[in-house]
Amino acid sequence: MRGRRLRQLSLPRDEVRFVKICAALLCLLLLAGCAAFPGDELSSRPFHAPEREQQHRPNVLVEFNFYRGDVQEAKDATSIAVAREGLKPRLRETLERSKLFARITLVPEPGRPDDALLRLKLYNSTSYAAAIASGLITGATFFLVPGTAKDDYVLTAEWLAPGGSSPIRVRNASSVRTWMGVWFLPLAASHQAGTAIEETFTRQVNEALRQLQAAGAFADRSSPQGNGETRASVTP
């Protein structure tokens, strides 16, 4: 009698399968509720060269690399080739829009004798402990309490004029913050992590150009001997 009653109370097999599928879809939907936003450390205003500097635009050889690690421990940082190549189109676009340079060559393309050298290094680091703690709270509340993770980015820039021997160095820092939770589902499609990283990188490159311009890096110091005679190397 008890067995018959339990069978009557139990759900049919098809309904159980339907419930499992709905639960799985709900989990995927919640996990997809991530939205990433650039930090507000730097201005989003593009940098454009003053007219006086557009009259003597140098040719530039650009060496760019992306590292996973802290800039303070640069020797232990790991070069991420995929990230570097993924950001190169945005880098070229930003440099071209600045109207600072007559010709832009990105390594591994060989430079020319009259090229200035612009060396850019982007370091990315994350506080894993804070991200894990936030994620545990979010998961325990079924994504009702938002979780967050912050990625820090430090860009170092080095400028060596054609025929120069003393480089000018600057750096700046920014971040990308990712929010996770059911409340961010409407923003997930329009605020993807890749887009936020590209926007942050663009701001950092523009800021580095401002810093170099303020330091007098782009003043006309033309020389018959530049920095493109030897091919610059990038860590694979």
Look at 219 and 134; give whichever has higher pLDDT: 219
pLDDT band at 141 (very low <50, low <70, confident <90, very high): low
Look at 207 and 186; give whichever has higher pLDDT: 207
As a whole number, mean pLDDT of residues 137-143 equals 50
22: Cβ–Cβ under 8 A, 6 or more apart, which residues?
none
199: Cβ–Cβ under 8 A, 6 or more apart, which residues?
38, 44
> The pTM is what?
0.74
DSSP structure string for 59-128: EEEEEEEEEES-GGGGGG-EE-HHHHHHHHHHHHHHHHHHT--SEEEETTS---TTEEEEEEEEEEEE-H
| Amino acid 51: pLDDT | 80
| Amino acid 135: pLDDT | 47
Distance of alpha carbon 79 from alpha carbon 157, whole angstroms: 16
As a whole number, mean pLDDT of residues 137-149 equals 56
As a whole number, mean pLDDT of residues 14-41 equals 62
**What's the mean per-residue pLDDT of the chain?**
78
120: Cβ–Cβ under 8 A, 6 or more apart, which residues?
62, 63, 64, 65, 91, 155, 156, 157, 158, 205, 208
Tens digits of residue pLDDT in 80-102: 999 999 999 999 999 999 999 99
Alpha carbon of 231 to those of 23, 62, 228: distances in Å?
A: 56, 11, 7
Amino acid at 123: Y
Q: In the predicted model, is pLDDT for residue 140 greater than 70?
A: no
Q: Which of 173, 154, 188, 145 is nearest to 37 (CA)?
A: 188
Angle formed by the axes of helices 81-98 and 193-214, nearest 10°: 50
Q: In the predicted model, is pLDDT for residue 2 greater than 50?
A: no
What is 34-214's CATH number?
3.40.50
Q: Which residues pair with residue 224 across a beta bridge? A: none
Q: In the predicted model, is pLDDT for residue 222 greater than 80?
A: no
| Amino acid 149: pLDDT | 80
Tens digits of residue pLDDT in 32-51: 467 888 999 999 999 998 88
Tens digits of residue pLDDT in 153-195: 999 999 999 887 799 999 999 999 887 766 556 555 655 878 9
Distance of alpha carbon 118 from alpha carbon 120, whole angstroms: 6
DSSP structure string for 1-18: -HHHHHHHHSPPHHHHHH
Q: In the predicted model, is pLDDT for residue 58 greater than 80?
A: yes
Structure tokens at 19: 């419930």
222: Cβ–Cβ under 8 A, 6 or more apart, which residues?
56, 58, 114, 162
Q: Which of 158, 160, 170, 151 is nearest to 80 (CA)?
A: 151
H/E segment holding residue 155: strand 147-160
Structure tokens at 52: 């006086």
| Amino acid 186: pLDDT | 54
Structure tokens at 23: 């639960």
Centroid of chain to Cα 216: 27
List the chain domain ranges.
1-31, 34-214
Q: In the predicted model, is pLDDT for residue 211 greater than 70?
A: yes
